[in-house]
Structure 1
């Protein structure tokens, strides 16, 4: 019965256990721990994810587990790093910084104020790669690899070797690293065994590049030692450092020294060591005896059978570090370095210091054993560029087009050219030493070329440059309609929420309207029949949509605004609607090209007309002539004027057109719209008539007009226009709202500009007001740039004089409002 009872109880227990949730399985540790000290989200309490990285390398090192990688972002880490954890055989802890040494300036820097070393004691199975630091200190470690690091010490103040290996260390590898200005390069102390020092570049070393004392079985291969201070020891085996391998190294003005206790089992061969003074100064010290050259050494000891001792060996490092050093000696002397290395020994890196595989050079005999063609030293000679990689404007086409001339020369045929243009796009293919690329927007870019030969060897070359729109003069044209979505059968449809139109402004029809090479176009853009509060944005094609706006409108409103916008590389600009649906109408008024004769002159804003002063508004259908030249600072030779026109006290809805005096009103000549009870302004760039006048016309029943001038174009002007990708300069929302009768300074127009082309928007207005803009340091004018009313977002194009520092003042007349200012370009006197 007890047995039956126990069985029943067990069954009951099992059923209960089955009903409970199973215990959670332990999560597999993340493969990568991230470190980014400049990230505001970083924390040293974990978890070390990309979204929440560690702030310091030490914090990550203290949590790293076997098989994990600590990935360190570029930046300076002012800390003394001590590695306290170990990996496992086949599962090391890896500390990873930058990539190729060709781009080492982006390596993360580990450097405390005291320039203390990165320390490891008693640790094992560690990889440390891609860092910029002053030195390593390794004690009693095993299976530790230091590779691809940039170990540099300041000139003075530090008297430590670049790498110090002490105690019973075993299997340490120091490979493919740049070591400069150390007081001793790699120093291996008593008790260490099986150290590999391979593929490194030692430059300007005080003392020995490689110093080994009482440390047997050391492999020293494919290192380059250059720029030694006077005559110094490149490689020094002291004490009982027997059974060493010294092969395929290259050194200038140096001595190789092997003590009597280190000769047993040691192999020295296939090195190129420059003789400081042939016949006078020893190149080798073997077992306590000096030898003047390799033939003497070979005759006495059998060592150095394939060593070479050239005089005045010259390294070509002029292109360093942005191309591969060629290390050619006296223009390809056969057998000195090229294709003359001996067989690979255990520990030889598969690639050179910059990642290049061996290349068989047609211009040099294969002097290695059995026709081997690997080069001696840290660098594989893969060729060089005849000339620097050049990037020049392509003046025959678009203003943002560039021509890239590579002209690489390699010992073998180039099979592929690969370009990274620095803007997220690439191109590749054979037979492309010259490449043309069009950038979507101005900016600073780095173009990178990788040339690959038929054997798989590569060259990398990169060039930083700046792309900008060409400063240009202005050409006015008769207003020409290029967009009207209201027309039946129009190829451009009514715009819905978030929808865009790619508007061709160069050749909207069969004839060319705006020539190739034009940098920007001036449009009058009207929003009509909108169904929601919204705005139209205009920006160059191929560019990312900016956070700026051009025309703000409400349901049922007809709103026009002048727009100056860069032209995209395909001759188009993008018109985008934000909300609801709306029709859009656009007229081209002019364009900017480098060859245009008319240049801009900025004026302190001045009022030319206010019909309210004499009580004579414009009446519908009757034009009124206004003299411009000879007033407000506009000279007789002016060809066009920049005016701000405001319609006020309008008796009915309608439009206002401004056009050259004495000419017929153009069909596509509307500049702004009128509405009863509203003050509506728009900037106008208008050619002047033969007598220097303009015509003012409205089809409203009547309307008062206010006209202010802010500049003019003429052949003797000095200002050339440079468009910019639309950029926000000011947004007072959430910052400092414009209170009544207050002003704020607007910054970030390029210094040296004479005037800025901006779009001003008033939003959140609490009382009727107007805004006035003028150059910092000058008197506030009695003019206006934008009229705002409560409950409506209003925008207006403005050409504003600026101070030499690139600033202007913006004043609010009455009611509280927020203001947005967007930059579309600037004028600079040439």
Structure 2
């Protein structure tokens, strides 16, 4: 290595007591050391999981889910009423109500039923004869194929009566009479009449609901007059009735009104198509409340006109009449008022509201806050053949009617299907648009083209669309996805083939839907079964991995997979065991290693799932452990004192090695764990009989191999002086740390105090900071007053939040401090320990009277504070410079410790021929191009000193090299050799060679030789 000059590096000698550099003065030498330490660590491990551990993942896509079968009719009886032609002369009923021998009449079936029973009515030749009276509650009457009750009884006898019943559901039943009510509901609740018909006649009403009834629902039914009697009305609801729903029904030509409600509490008239006659289609009066008239279509009738109404003492009324007593509690909107041509041929007023008639919708909206979405309709409605009657009524909307697709889906009482049970149902009125070309057809084909690939085609022969010739063809693939084509159809084949690839094998039902965009759709289905083309994918899924840094691993999969005929494109999904995943696409099973960085040290299970281009899937997994370790505060506790026989029986002789078992040491209640990877020790050489040095190192590496004495040192000692130094030493597989006495002829007593340990589990990560002084009793920094620590006295220092947040106010478990004893009048010892704990029998700094001594310490915190005790008969000043802290919470840049495979000496000015270094020199060491190295762990030593001074290591900024630190790492006097541990943050900017540098500043007087031994790094990935 070479030394060069930093231009303009002229500085006067720095103070000798841990102060910063002073103003420029004497010229100095700039150290530029281009020696990068090796970061390959014996802590790096390799991991593997052979393909034999991989397993196939069964795919369930496209497979029919098993369904549990249950007899829904358990405990419920179904009674059958069959073909009345089986009853001879209709005078007797020999049926028993079974499916094979049904009752001839519906009434007999009703009479035999009990609450909870179902009456199934078959559609036979001819009619059932009435009347029918229901007096039993909780019944279901269903006619799946439709059935009719014909009541020819004279004298006004109703055809179908629900008398004082609850919970009765009637579906598919048509009732007709000649001179009376078809459907009569009296004193009943929760009644549903659905998908049927009511034909009233003879000057009567088709449906009546008395005032004692509630919860009555009539849906998807045809309400028609039997004759053109001027007294005929559709549905009459008496005062006192409540919660009545009339939805999606068709009403035709009732001269006296289709829906007449007086004094009703809760009435929904929603989605009906009403061909009205003389009186209003809907008339609400008598203080009715909770009335909603929405989504209805009103069409002027053809049998009677305004000119013919007076003949029957009637008048041509507005479509909707709501009297003054009911208007405030009524809502009308989203209704469609059908006109003929450009104007209503009869001049029909849409509304009479609160006693005022409005001739136009515009006038109505301008005066009343209703009808905002009402529409005038000039289209022509198609003819509806009313079932079972001679009525042909206008009720089918044209494709261009504003009623089509404009209904309010949230209207109270709205149903999901139209009069015919069709969906989607989103048009106003009872009938969803029926296209003019209802005979759409299609011929789909499905061809398998690959293991999981199919091609679909649909062909046919069509005329033009009812709307605009635009058709939509949708392929629903049965796996939750679909493809749509827009088509213009004349005749012949249409649509290009559509390809689709499934994600897994199985059975899929493909649905083809042709939509003419005018309301008509036709749907067909085909089923395809895709077999598994590659059941042996797992046979090639092996896994290997290795640590690549303190918190990062690289994982690779095998390179040989069984080939399949369709080519091999793989997708590998890595589940890292920390809640994150990543996906890698590859071909032919060949991938580069996939890397991942964990946020904390630990052991994780990594799973790789491989999916091939045919959808087959296999998984394998293995356990990985990060190479880095995290810190756990401990003690401080003394585990070695050769003076008393603690940990070793006697002083350590010249050239000898002391084996100290660290794992398991400490108090019996809280021993140091066996799985530690490194330990923080404050080591003190006491009463040496000759000059020498100590080297502290792990007895074994992580593989269990023995470790030789390294060519580095941790502390240098001298006769008559007690010398402490902090060490962060790897601990091998046997849990033993070795101490080597490098003195050529003397023995030494050795003390070791534990301040914490590292394990490969999530604990506290180290966050390096720009060095900051948090205590200086000479200036009152950290204490608030200028005062020395008295003899045998203590001070409590608040570390959390110190120096305006340089150390965070919370989450800090320990702090890395350089402690410097200054201005002492007596010999002494400084002990640093967590606040709230008793004074331990340990030491951090040993000093002599008048001596300036620095030593690094990692001190656990107690409630954010530490105690600094002066064990001396005289006072002393104390300085504390913080270089970083440990936090159990995840912090940006928080690093895990990675010891080097062997300590490396990266700087020794005695050997390079460029020393000694004059005071005032600025230098830097190029260490690494890796941005994720957050701190370096050095043992720094100065020797052959010719004056008093100090050494400062700090983050070096190549853009501004003359900005110096305000802290120091060690202090020395002339002719001294002084070591100290330094945990140093590198610079944050790359130099011209592409390295992150650590700065070196030598302050004071004279010259010194500088030695840096690297023991490990902290990395945040």
TM (norm. structure 1) is 0.43
Larger radius of gyration: 2
Give the TM-score, by structure 2 length: 0.35
